Amino acid sequence: MLKIGTRGSLLALTQAGTVRDALIATGHQAELVVVRTAGDESAAPVQEIGVGVFTTALRDELFSGAVDIAVHSYKDLPTAPDERFVIAAIPPREDSRDALVARDGLVLGELPAGSKVGTSAPRRAAQLRALGLGLDVVPLRGNLDTRLRKVADGELDAVVVARAGLSRIDRLDAVTEALEPVQMLPAPAQGALAVECRIDDAESIAALALQDDPQSRAAVTAERALLAELEAGCTAPVGAIAEVVESIDESGRIFDELSLRGCAAALDGSDVVKASIVGSPDDAEKLGRDLARELLDLGARELMAVTEPASGGGGAGA
């Protein structure tokens, strides 16, 4: 019986359940094991609790042998590799875009200046402010149901969350606008799962092999390489999205290319630098690091050092 470690939230259980069901479908016995984390015990912002808070407890249980597999939201994993483990599978990725859930069915451009918009991510806050819409961007914690309820109850005018999470818990009906990357670049690896096991556990590695999606792995590898080269963590105001796309050369040959876009922003919304690159999916990590160096040349490190405005609102042009 393969034991799959997961957090106890509806989203985490749903994500881990897809891995369990896929294992069972390929002839393996598997069950979920709920692991409590420090993040589940605190209402403080992630920046205060610490990067990796939602993964440390899972990894402790995995290393101890209490579970055989851990399922993470990949964007929550630290960029530094942990030599005890291997990401044995990255299943096909969900839509990586952010989603707006707003009162009265409004889209982002229809929210009046001064509207209270909740988000848990400095990346989202920085890009929202940079749009210059005059929104009052406020911090947000809690599971997805709690966040949606703040809009329904009128406490907030809107929240911005990952579309993938809403899709996985069948709440896409709440989305009033899926935010295109031209408006807001998602977090590196957003919408992807990291299915992790001990590096010496050949049985689990073999069992998970069929769940790995090469295109999702290439995209996530590039995005996280960008994040690592910027020496930024999952709470940094950095966005990235990579996609494997078909191209055609002069002789008519069709081949795959990896397209990567990235950005770094000032938390106060005063500036955002963006860049893009295209290359072979086989060079995913190099592409990510090359694009990060281009962002650094454009001033990314200095921008990421800019602090959040004391008021929590405003933004460029607000």
Rounded to whole angstroms, how far apart are CA atoms 89 and 110?
A: 40
Beta bridge partners of 195: 71, 89
Rg (CA), the chain: 20
Pairing state between β 254-265 and 238-248: antiparallel
Neighbour order of strands in the sheet with 254-265 = 238-248, 254-265, 272-279
Active site residues: 76
CA 215 to chain CA mean position, Å: 17
Q: Using CA atoms, how far apart are residues 249 and 227, in angstroms rounded to an integer? A: 31
CB 121 within 8 A of CB 187: yes
Distance CA 227, CA 240 (A): 8
- Sort 133 into a burial class: Cβ within 10 Å, 0-12 / 13-18 / 19+: buried
Q: Which residue has the tokens 């818990």?
A: 169
Bridge partners, 259 (sequence order): 243, 278
User: How long, in residues, is the chain?
Assistant: 318
- Alpha carbon distance 222, 234 (integer Å): 15
**CA distance linking residue 212 with residue 112, whole number of Å:** 44
